[in-house]
A and B are shown apart, each in its own frame.
Chain A
Amino acid sequence: MDGIHDLGGQPGYNALGYRRDEPVFKDRWEATVFTMVRASAQAGAYTNIDQFRHAVERIDPKAYLEHGYYGRWLGAVETLFVEAGILTTAEITERATQMGADPNDLIAARPNQIKTQTTGIPAKRNPIDQAPWFQVGDPVQTTETSPLGHTRLPGYARDKRGLITACQGLWPYPDLRAHSHGEPSQYLYTVTFSSRDLGFSEAFELNLDLFEPYLNPIETIQ
């Protein structure tokens, strides 16, 4: 889906905040969030990593930028617990208020506010027991599809020309798995792009692992 999480190539975020040393968890609540994510999986609130990633993508965009990594996870895990019917937003807010939280605080979780019954980029074929569509060396054009659901094709690499540099075999397809459509597999390829083909002025090579439905063949003219 289009959203704040799709940060690659976006202008406006200049500060790197780079530090050589820092603790793994800055505060205990960060480790608590980490543990709650594991507990949510054990409780069945999500069943695969793509559902979790999609929950992160659906949190409040301002919170996404301002609450930090574990703040994003907090928003995702609350979303998942509420959508699974294990907790309610009202009981969490009531408890937090009792503990001294301001009722006007921005809450990252937005359960049930973005439709999750859709899909990402549709699969073109079921490749189980069939050969990969592309071979190493094939030029490809990424799709310009911008799906409402979860996808792992970054926006900056949409509708761009690249080259297949490795076939990585069959993997569960995130665009369907994030929406609980089982674990259908698709071929995954490493696709290599020139920065110029991505529209960036600095010269470098960029590699992405992309699923077959994201890719279209380019006819080479001899």
Chain B
Amino acid sequence: MTDSFIVDDSLIVAGEKLGSRLILGTGGAPSMQVVAEALTASRTALCTVSIRRAGTTTDGSIVDVLAEHGVRLLPNTAGCRTAREAVTTAQLARDALGTDWVKLEVVADEHTLLPDPVELLRAAEKLVADGFDVFAYTNDDPVLARHLQRTGCVAVMPLGAPIGSGLGILNPHNIELIVAEATVPVVLDAGVGTASDAALAMELGCDAVLLASAVTRARQPALMAAAMAAAVDAGRLAYRAGRIPRRRHAQASSPTTGMPVL
């Protein structure tokens, strides 16, 4: 075993050390029991929750379930279409849950659920000025990521593909560009369909992966959560190890000297 296994490779975001590079969303799970099983299997340390009208569910409190599992809350502004809505939702989340952390999500329309860059940046500026630690869900656009970073976001979270699509990472080159310029953690958020997508995100240099549907809507959510945890670990190790360059032709791994004449 080499030194590289011993070093503490924990993710640090907003000055806090997290015990896992897999961040889970809880949306789409058929029951709180399924959420609980997925949390355990994923070994996640951070989980996003949405802010909705109180008293509409009878399935227990997600806040209690996360607390029981020692998982930190990352409230989100899912469903918001304007900066004003997102800022108000973030303020409500802070008042309700007592955390400055927020996953900022401002989508343009219901069809694509793609982030609206103008409203996103506007909301990020306001929330950072208001003392929030902003995790910005963004397009796979290196320039927008740069702006969000300059604004003071604590993490930029480019999508691999549209939310819930399971299409994987559609533009790995852009994700690499975002990583190359990053001064804050980069979290691949949205689009992950299966474990290899999560591993690829980490191999591209992302600091973490955030996913929900891939686990909560899998045939067996807890099994998929375990697969994602393993994939994130494997991808991170591969990134640190440094992959071999791609070659156009074969390169023998056996010695070319000492060949007998037969």
A and B held together in a complex: no
Q: Show the binding face of A for B, using Cβ within 8 Å.
A: none
